[in-house]
Amino acid sequence: MIDLRSDTVTKPTEEMRKAAYEAEVGDDVYQEDPTVNELEQTAAEMLGKEAALFVTSGTQGNQIAVLTHTSKGNEIIVEQDSHLFNYEGGAISAFAGVQPRTIKGIRGAMDPTKVEAAIQEDDVHNAETGLICMENTHNRAGGAVIPLENMDAIYKIAASNHIPVHLDGARLFNAAVALNRPAKDIAQYTDTVQFCLSKGLGAPVGSIIAGNEEFIKRARKWRKRLGGGLRQVGIVAAPGLVALRTMVDRLAIDHEHAKILAEGLGSIHGINVVNQVDTNIILVNVSERGVTSNQFAAMLKEQGVLVSTFGPQLVRFTTHYDVDKESIDEALRIVNKL
Ligand SMILES: Cc1ncc(COP(=O)(O)O)c(C=O)c1O
């Protein structure tokens, strides 16, 4: 199978498995796991933040951020197609007790003037705006990179209204590599950031949230409340360190593969690539073929190619570490044949 469903399907490298085996461990609830401490310190430095916290998943990281920043009854400003709003099981309402105010972005980027207009006035009738969230790269916008000027403008508006900003940077390093800038250049426009070790970076488990010391102290408490305080978790953190040290720069290869795949797919009659391919995600509209996305995905599966679907017409192809150039060429041959 050529698995192009998601970059979450990547398997840990041999170096990661070895690092897990050899990891020095301690009780991380006591903050005595040296490997976790090293991972958190390394991540904080890479993001230009004071501190970081290892969490079990991107969803947990985002939700801990919302819980830490907001109070019940707050409103949070999120992009309409964001992961936080669409794909986290309604957790912002279920756990933090906040309501979303959504803004439709362009390629995932919210218009700063719309963000400003969405901030609630101080009035007894209104929910208080407790947080503004961005997503970079933006998944549903097809791995789109949110321009730094856009992030900067939103961050300034947030600061002047004393509202914190959180970045869902599940694929932050894809954005950094695409922009040819260090991750901290992106994270500078947010108070807190979450990124996933277990997507394109290839680690088996985990995410990082980062921010100032005070935020991370309170986030640690929320992680514990949610049952995310783990013990000898250096076993799992060690592959994360390998990911940060060895897997960032090579994301450029995934982006290159995505461009090749998009170009090939776009040349097939009735297959329309609908996104500008900035990173590792390609969105294809298959309706002109007279099939639904589910039917198209099923036909591809029979031929040995796995893709995911986004609604009735869109199919998503995602490139990653476990798909080499030969597999990309083979996938194109299969789609062409179909
Ligand atoms: C943009 C974005 N944010 C958050 C997540 C959640 O990550 P996890 O699956 O580790 O909970 C994902 C997962 O696909 C994502 O694409």
One digit per residue, pLDDT tens: the chain, 338 residues? 999 999 999 999 999 999 999 999 999 999 999 999 999 999 999 999 999 999 999 999 999 999 999 999 999 999 999 999 999 999 999 999 999 999 999 999 999 999 999 999 999 999 999 999 999 999 999 999 999 999 999 999 999 999 999 999 999 999 999 999 999 999 999 999 999 999 999 999 999 999 999 999 999 999 999 999 999 999 999 999 999 999 999 999 999 999 999 999 999 999 999 999 999 999 999 999 999 999 999 999 999 999 999 999 999 999 999 999 999 999 999 999 98
For atom 6 of ligand 1, the residue with the nearest CA is: 58
Mutational test site, ligand 1, from 139, 145, 173, 194, max ligand atoms within 8 Å of CB:
139
- 219 closest CA partner among 98, 41, 338, 62: 62
- Distance from the CA of 59 to the center of ligand 1, in angstroms? 6
C-alpha 196 chain-centroid distance: 6
Name the H helices within the chain.
14-22, 34-47, 58-69, 83-86, 91, 112-118, 148-160, 172-179, 183-187, 213-225, 234-246, 251-266, 293-302, 325-337
Structure token digits, residue 77: 């400003």
Structure token digits, residue 218: 């309170």
**Burial 93-128, CB ≥16 within 10 A → b, else e:** eebbebebbbbebeebbbebeebbebbbeeeeeeeb
- Distance from the CA of 336 to the center of ligand 1, in angstroms? 31
Task: Please give the full DSSP string across 50-112, using - where no structure is assigned.
Answer: SEEEEES-HHHHHHHHHHHH--TT-EEEEETT-HHHHSSTTHIIIII--EEEEE--BTTBPPH
CB atoms within 10 A of CB 212: 12
At position 249, the amino acid (one-letter code) is D
Are the CB atoms for 249 and 177 separated by under 8 Å?
yes
- Distance from the CA of 304 to the center of ligand 1, in angstroms? 25
Q: What is the pLDDT of residue 338?
A: 87
- Distance from the CA of 58 to the center of ligand 1, in angstroms? 5
Are the CB atoms for 51 and 211 separated by under 8 Å?
yes
Structure token digits, residue 128: 């208080």
CA 16, CA 77: separation in Å to the nearest integer?
37
Neighbouring C-alpha atoms within 13 Å toward the C-beta of 239: 24
**What residue ranges line ligand 1, CB within 6 angstroms?**
57-59, 62, 83, 135, 139, 168, 170, 196, 207
- Distance from the CA of 224 to the center of ligand 1, in angstroms? 20
C-alpha 2 chain-centroid distance: 22
- Distance from the CA of 88 to the center of ligand 1, in angstroms? 8
Neighbouring C-alpha atoms within 13 Å toward the C-beta of 240: 27
CA 22, CA 32: separation in Å to the nearest integer?
17
Q: pLDDT of 160-218, one tens digit each? A: 999 999 999 999 999 999 999 999 999 999 999 999 999 999 999 999 999 999 999 99
Output the pTM of the full model: 0.97
Backbone φ and ψ of 163, nearest 5°: -115, 130
Mutational test site, ligand 1, from 54, 95, 145, 168, max ligand atoms within 8 Å of CB:
168
C-alpha 60 chain-centroid distance: 12
